[in-house]
Structure 1
Amino acid sequence: MDRLPDISRLAHWSASTTKQGFGVTNLLDGSPDTFWQSDGHQPHTLTLRFAKRQPIHAISLFLDYARDESYTPCRIRLLAGSNPHDLQLLLDHVLETPPNGWVLLPLADAAGEKDGGGALHAHFLCIELPANYESGRDVHVRMARVLAPPPRDAAFRRDRVLPFSTPDFSMYDSIR
């Protein structure tokens, strides 16, 4: 997960509802001590809008049942499309055990338009949270990441024929 580029900041994030002081900006601050909290009827949604069509390899959410209990989602649905009106269900994931950390939701095998690297391309992405543990009403999500596929030249460098790894040699290992 750490080797995949994080493209979360390329999206405009919005939420179906937000409790004052616990907005979607908390999802991207890198701290597990802050969180987005919904405030309203289920299902709760996070909508991501990209300025251009983006390759998306996976979504990763940081959930903490130990701290959030009934605020922790137990079911996550991912929908994607080119606009809000043509979203298609890609993944309907039920968490088998209460999460305490990163939950990785890979989209490489999801139905839809793919490139050779196993990425889904989309302008819009919707993260729907329809149910919580203990029949909770509102949701806490502590962090979120949208992960792109690994860079293609990284695969080339990993599989290269010449075993040089210094910066001086790597400057000239490909044609620009």
Structure 2
Amino acid sequence: MNPPAGLPDISRLARWSVSSSKQGLGVANLLDSSTDTYWQSDGHQPHTIAITFPHRHQIHSISIYADYDRDESYTPCCIRILSGTDQYDLQLLKEVHFDTEPRTWIHFPLSNDDTSDHSSSSSNSSVMAHHLHLVFPLNYENGRDVRVRAVRLLGPPTNHEMFKRDKILPFTTPEFYMYDTLR
């Protein structure tokens, strides 16, 4: 995948789990570098991908690869993105219903006040969260199980000026910036 310029892939910093999976088609397939492999759920809808960071983390956007041509009724037609400080206080950030069948990477910029279109990735805002849940309540053709070929979490831009802007402490690198606020 080619994430939008300047946005680092932070997917490996989190712990991933899924609500269910067919044998051999688990969460590891979401994070490999191939769009030929996939996670396939097994069970009742809605299906969920749970993402947990060890500490609160900035997340600029989420990219999901779905391919209707290869997966047909397994392709999700609705995605809900929830975030929170733990799994019990999750709040809906975004709900997207697709107008056309997806056949590529779909980018979802995140922010607490984001009202932009899901295909745009120009927003510089981000969400701070410990937990993210991707919920797949509906599939095309009323399919029961869902297939997602890849998911990537993208961090905020790594521009050093962004880290200095509106901050009390004069930190200039991401490593020091993470200590700018107290939890």
Kindly report the root-mean-square deviation, in angstroms, between the aligned alpha carbons of the 2 structures: 2.0
Is the counterpart of residue 151 in structure 1 residue 153 in structure 2?
no
| CA distance 1:110–1:137, shift in 2 (3 Å) | farther
Matched letter for residue 138 of structure 1: D
Report what 1:126 is aligned to. Answer: 133
CA distance in 2, matches of 1:63, 1:123: 25
CA distance in 2, matches of 1:62, 1:154: 31
Please show how residues 51-70 of structure 1 align to structure 2 within 5 Å.
51-70=54-73
CA distance in 2, matches of 1:152, 1:108: 18
CA distance in 2, matches of 1:105, 1:71: 20
**Unmatched 5+ stretches in structure 1:** 112-116, 157-173
Give the 3-state SS of the residue equivalent to 2:28 in structure 1.
helix
Q: How many residues align?
A: 154
Report what 1:2 is aligned to. Answer: 4
More strand by share: 1
Please show how residues 74-89 of structure 1 align to structure 2 within 5 Å.
74-89=77-92
TM score, norm. by length of structure 2: 0.79
CA distance in 1, matches of 2:100, 2:82: 23
CA contact (8 A) 1:110 1:120 kept: no
CA contact (8 A) 1:91 1:110 kept: no
Name which of 103, 106, 109 aligns with 2:109. 106
Task: Provide runs of 4+ in structure 1 moved above 6 Å.
Answer: none
CA contact (8 A) 2:57 2:130 kept: yes
